[in-house]
Amino acid sequence: MAGCNGFLRSYGNYFKDASEDYYQRCNAKVEEYNHLDEDSDRGSPLETSDLGEEPSEPGQTIGPYTNCKHYTTGLFSTIYKTRLASSPQTLALKLTTPSQCQPPHNPKREARILTTAKHPNIIPLLETHALPSSHLLLVFPFQPLDLATLLHKHQQLGRQQARSIVRDLFSALAHLHSLGIIHRDIKPSNILLSSASASATSTAYLADFGIAYAPNDPASEPTDQKITDVGTTCYRPPELLFGRKDYGCEIDLWAAGCVVAEIVEGNGHDWSLFDAGELGSELALVKSIFETLGTPDEVVWPDARDLPDWGKMTFVKFPRKFWDELLPNTSSDGRDLVSQLVRYQSTERLSAAEHYHPSGYLLSQTFVQIGFYKRQKDPIAGYYKLD
């Protein structure tokens, strides 16, 4: 994705005129690019039907694994699925070629981060194999579906299931951020689910660490020169769109807030808090954020004055919308949670640690009622937990 500076200079006049002509031009290009998938790195959404009967054609051998069936293809990897003859476990094999990956994608760093950051809600890396032709194979337990499938297939999440998914997400983020690791691509399709049910054994896993940042990893960028072309379309925070390179874990929190909004408000229909347009453009996303949260000034967003691409053009002054208008089907506590994550000023976003406590309690009072949950205070610990 091109930098915000050049993009905004090229299309500044359209933004000022409410982008009508811009969208006409974009729509004219859609057919030209309709063979591309804007989420190509994710590939096809996981389907529960994929757990059914295997194709009759024999699979291929990859390293020590036989009968491997192609599952999906990403930007710099191909995913295969296989079952071990010695056990009922199904595996997901991520085949990569590190020499062909372009920053910020780095499968070797991904393997190192997953080895360092083991956690019950982070997808476990079972094995790695260096293969001929400079291939690297990462082996994971296969999960039957992801949150994007659940939300976009118009399936209504039960409150226990939604509660469990959000809790597991913030549990994973709290652990990552305590290590200084930034995932950099939080979105529903990277939240894998062990089951479509809301059983006590169902677990959500944060997955796809291909562009994750670890401060002490030799393949990571300098702290103040991080790559800004990270994140996916409508989950990218505004500081990335305006060129901030010294960002921190707060970019994950903005994206997590967008995911929570989809769970509590878009539950049962295809909806997202922000819209990056059919082509996933930065300009369309900036416009959507400003239309939703109001066009910020340096009082609302003090960090803006230090952003490389801030102040290079004049924006339409959109009024701020209120959260009860944006999330009309969500409780006040659910709206409070989203509003304290989705904020222009990154230092004002609540940290994952403020939401989650290892004992299972949630430290943020705003987190205890995500749309439909009761608030119950523990008289001893003083924390709030979900009932």
| Number of domains into which the chain is organized | 2
Same domain assignment for residues 121 and 261: no
Instruction: Give 267-302 pLDDT, tens digit per residue.
Output: 667 789 999 988 889 999 999 999 999 999 999 999
Phi-psi region for residue 311, left (φ > 0), alpha (ψ -120 to 50) or beta? left
Residues spanned by the domain of 273 = 145-386
The SS3 of residue 375 is strand
Mean pLDDT over each residue of the chain, to the nearest integer: 80
Same domain assignment for residues 96 and 217: no
Residue at a domain's end among 141, 167, 191:
141
The CATH number of whichever domain residue 199 belongs to comes to 1.10.510.10
256 CB-near residues (< 8 Å, 6+ apart): 169, 170, 173, 186, 341, 352
Residue at a domain's end among 141, 162, 186:
141
Q: At 46, which amino acid appears? A: L
Strand partners, 72: 79
The better pLDDT of the pair 305, 151 is held by 305
C-alpha–C-alpha distance, residues 125 and 276, integer Å: 32
Same domain assignment for residues 335 and 379: yes
Instruction: Give 356-373 pLDDT, tens digit per residue.
Output: 544 333 434 334 343 333
Among the listed residues 146, 185, 208, 336, the single catalytic one is 185
- Asked whether the predicted pLDDT for residue 28 surpasses 60, the reply is no
Same domain assignment for residues 109 and 158: no
Q: Is residue 269 part of a domain?
A: yes
Instruction: Give 39-78 pLDDT, tens digit per residue.
Output: 333 333 334 444 444 555 779 999 999 999 999 998 899 9
187-205 mean pLDDT: 84
Ramachandran angles phi, psi of 99, nearest 5°: -70, -20
Q: Is residue 295 part of a domain?
A: yes
Q: Is residue 13 part of a domain?
A: no
DSSP code per residue over 275-326: --TTTT-HHHHHHHHHHHH----TTT-GGGGGSTTTTSS----PPPPPHHHH
222-234 mean pLDDT: 96
Same domain assignment for residues 71 and 180: no
Q: Which helix (H) or strand (E) holds 353?
A: helix 352-355
Same domain assignment for residues 329 and 255: yes
Q: Is residue 241 part of a domain?
A: yes
Report how far Cα 136 is from the mean position of its chain's Cα atoms.
24
The band of 306, judged by pLDDT with boundaries at 50, 70 and 90, is: very high
Instruction: Give 70-121 pLDDT, tens digit per residue.
Output: 999 988 999 999 998 888 899 999 999 999 999 999 999 999 999 999 999 9
Active-site residue, 217 included: no
17 CB-near residues (< 8 Å, 6+ apart): none
Same domain assignment for residues 163 and 124: no
Same domain assignment for residues 123 and 208: no
